[in-house]
Amino acid sequence: MAKAARSTKPKPWAEAATHLVDVAMGRRPADLVIRNGRWVNVHSGEIIAGTDIAIAGGRFAYCGPNAGHAIGQGTKVVDAGGRYLVPGLCDAHMHVESGMVTVTEFCRAVIPHGTTSMFIDPHEIANVLGLPGVRLMHDEAVAMPINVLVQMPSCVPSAPGLEHAGAELTVADVTEAMGWENIVGLGEVMNFPGVAANDPVMAGEIAATVRAGKTVGGHYASRDLGLPFHGYVAGGPEDDHEGTRAEDAIARVRQGMKAMLRLGSAWYDVASQIKAVTESGLDPRNFILCTDDSHSGTLVHEGHMDRVVRHTISQGVKPVTAIQMATLNTAQHFRLERELGSIAPGRLADLLIVSDLAAMTIDEVYGRGVRLAKGGKLDIDIPAYDYPKTAKNTVKLGKKLKSEDFNIIAPIGANEVRVRVIGVIENQAPTRALEADLPVEDGLVAMDRRNDVCQIALVERHRGTGGVTNAFVSGFGYMSDCAMASSVAHDAHHIIVVGTSKQDMALAVNRLGEVGGGVVLFSRGKELALVEMPIAGLMSDERAEIVAAKADKLTEAMRQMGCSLNNAYMQHSLLALVVIPELRISDVGLIDVTTFQKVDLFV
């Protein structure tokens, strides 16, 4: 396996153009010629048989019927044997931290699956470490052998006044970041009520991005398509990935936005929204595919953007159209059409050799003209990226938690209470605002595992206050005494612990304090599974396949406790996301996200 050089980015097109012209004209030899392929042309929507591709200096120089004139003494020639030549796939919106690994390890995991461009929003690390954390991931992204473009996080904290993150980003921070070499836009603007209300921070960040000529990412997590939606669009966001219904996609496209359809580890929003194309006949060029959040186990076992494209094709979309949604459409949206997203002269030579287009069977992956993977295995090694000590030891509990910290005291004299309950919706990011009648025992509100109501608590972990917010959650199905705690808790990333045993809840939280963050499951005092994530309490510094194996063990342990949710860890990690309806938990209390108000636990 060859070592990947840290600096592999080709010369800009303007500097390389004369050389590309010479190769295209046969005056100079190409570095690589791929012959006899079926060119998936995302510009014309055609599949063109008998095509040769000539590559020089990491860019496409010639795409046509015969590149024999570009073959010289030093030219490497690859016979595609009639297989498909597909542009490298782009993930238009994603968070590396959700994979539990670093940018380097994420790239190692997804390159064999054909992903050659990623548009990442590092707002998870921003909520813990602020602007320095964003800079760390930005610099790591620059060093990768594929295109990892960064969107500057917009909402840290995501909902001011409703949560307290570990850091805060300002308009000045956003303005500064717009000058960094690898920043392509503003990350998802989650504070949609703030945009509609002309909040000066939101308006200032969007204005700084527009002035820099870069893309403003959206996040309108509401089913209300009335005036608040129109106000949000008028504020400047250019895309949105939070739709779950066909009417959501239709509304966004009609307003000039791009509808981003996501298939993550736990978010299955493509099938419902793609009907806007397959049934309502909307122009597919305004639809873009993304993952948003992919668990390490998904990356290793199921794939990445190849999985999304394959799923989209299965919904009745033509293969070329689905590939456009994961290549050219993305590049155009981010104003990078002359760099990415197609096999055409001048573009970066990101290319897949695919034997079965509908099944997205990827035989070889090329990035910038270099073969990176073959037969599902990396051809190169990517050196580990060293994170400084300042990015670690970020879990500060302030005290050792005890089972009593999770007591919920009932109103005086009550034998039964009616409480608000966070209701998990499988395979979707939103939750339901439920209610349940719970018994009172010795003055304390008791859980009701028979009716799938267990306890949830958020433990403050940035400033060591020792603060604990207690509430109830439904949907995990835990039947045994257990508790799972995670320092990944979008977006403020305190510790969330869900359980049926207060003793196990305390043990789980304390264990994360010991290891510097991650996710852990306890049952009856015994640790069943642990994934250590010492980098900001969000990412592991181990190989992706090692992390995936630990995550698999965690998933199996959750099943043994009675949880049958698809990718329950991802559902767990979003229970504090106070910008997606309906009911969430934060360090401030229980939050009704339909009104953006703190509400009492007791009804």
Residue 67 has pLDDT above 90, yes or no: yes
Average pLDDT over residues 230-239: 98
Tokens 């309502």, residue? 280
For residue 500, tell me if it sits in a domain: yes
Residue that finishes a domain, picked among 275, 309, 339: 339
DSSP assignment, residue 409?
Answer: B
Q: How many whole angstroms separate alpha carbon 124 and alpha carbon 133?
A: 9
Asked which of 7-16, 495-504, 581-590 is least confident by mean pLDDT, the reply is: 7-16
- Alpha carbon 466 to its chain centroid, in Å, reads 30
User: How far is the C-alpha of 461 from the C-alpha of 459, rounded, in Å?
Assistant: 6
- For the cut 90, the answer to whether the pLDDT of residue 62 exceeds it is yes
% pLDDT > 90, the chain = 95
Banded model confidence at residue 9, pLDDT cuts 50, 70, 90: confident
- Neighbour-count burial of 386, counting CB atoms closer than 10 A to its CB (0-12 exposed, 13-18 middle, 19+ buried): exposed
Q: Are residues 413 and 309 in the same domain?
A: no
pLDDT higher than 60, residue 141: yes
Is the pLDDT at 2 greater than 70, yes or no?
A: no
> What is the arithmetic mean of pLDDT over 552-557?
96
Domain that holds residue 580: 391-599
pLDDT given for residue 7 in this prediction: 46
Q: Confirm if 258 and 329 have CB atoms less than 8 A apart.
A: yes
Residue 271 and residue 178 share a domain:
yes
Residue 160 lies in a domain: yes
Please give the mean pLDDT across all residues of the chain: 96
In a domain, 369, yes or no: no
Contact 142, 116 (CB under 8 A): no
Which DSSP state fits 245? S
Residue 228 domain flag: yes
pLDDT band at 421; cut points 50, 70, 90: very high
| Same-domain check for residues 328 and 396 | no
Residue 571 in domain: yes
Final residue of a structural domain among 308, 339, 370:
339
What is the tally of structural domains in the chain? 2
Q: How many residues does the chain have?
A: 603
Residues 173 and 302 in one domain: yes
- Confidence category of residue 300, pLDDT binned at 50, 70, 90: confident
Q: Is the domain of 500 the same as that of 565?
A: yes
Which own/partner contact pairs does 528-533 have at CB distance under 8 Å and 24+ positions apart?
A: 528/482, 528/553, 528/557, 528/560, 529/553, 529/554, 529/556, 529/557, 530/554, 531/100, 533/100, 533/487, 533/488
Asked if residue 311 and residue 179 are part of one domain, the reply reads yes
pLDDT confidence bin for 1, thresholds 50/70/90: low
DSSP conformational letter for 444? E
What was the pLDDT predicted at 265?
A: 86
Residue 3, pLDDT above cutoff 90 = no
From 318, 339, 360, the end of a domain falls on: 339
Mean pLDDT calculated for residue range 192-197: 95
Single out the residue of 261, 229, 256, 257 nearest to residue 245, CA to CA. Answer: 261
User: Per DSSP, which regions of 442-580 are E strands?
Assistant: 444-445, 453-459, 468-474, 483-486, 495-499, 518-523, 526-532
Q: Name the 3-class secondary structure at 449.
A: helix
503 and 565 together in one domain: yes
Radius of gyration of the chain (CA): 25
Same domain assignment for residues 404 and 331: no
The domain that contains 149 carries what CATH number?
3.20.20.140
* Shared-domain flag, residues 312 and 427: no
Q: Taking CA 556 as the corner, what is the angle to CA 554 and CA 560, rounded to the nearest 5 degrees?
A: 115
- The pLDDT > 70 percentage for the chain reads 99
Mean pLDDT (whole number) for 7-16: 88
Residue-wise pLDDT for 23-60, tens only, equals: 999 999 999 999 999 999 999 999 999 999 999 999 99
pLDDT above 80 for 4 = no
- Antiparallel, parallel or unpaired: β 147-152 and 583-585: unpaired
**Measured between alpha carbons, how far is 475 from 463 in angstroms, rounded to an integer?**
31
Domain membership flag for residue 44: no
Mean local confidence (pLDDT), 423-440: 94
455 and 524 in a single domain? The answer is yes
pLDDT digits (tens, 9 = 90+) for 277-286: 999 999 999 9
Instruction: Mark whether 454 and 591 lie in a shared domain.
Output: yes
The answer to whether residue 10 sits within a structural domain is no
Please check the confidence at residue 94 and state whether its pLDDT lies above 90.
Answer: yes
Residue 270 lies inside a defined structural domain of this protein:
yes
Q: Are 548 and 419 in contact (CB under 8 A)?
A: no
From 503, 533, 505, 538, select the one nearest 521 (Cα to Cα): 505
Whether 465 and 592 share a structural domain: yes
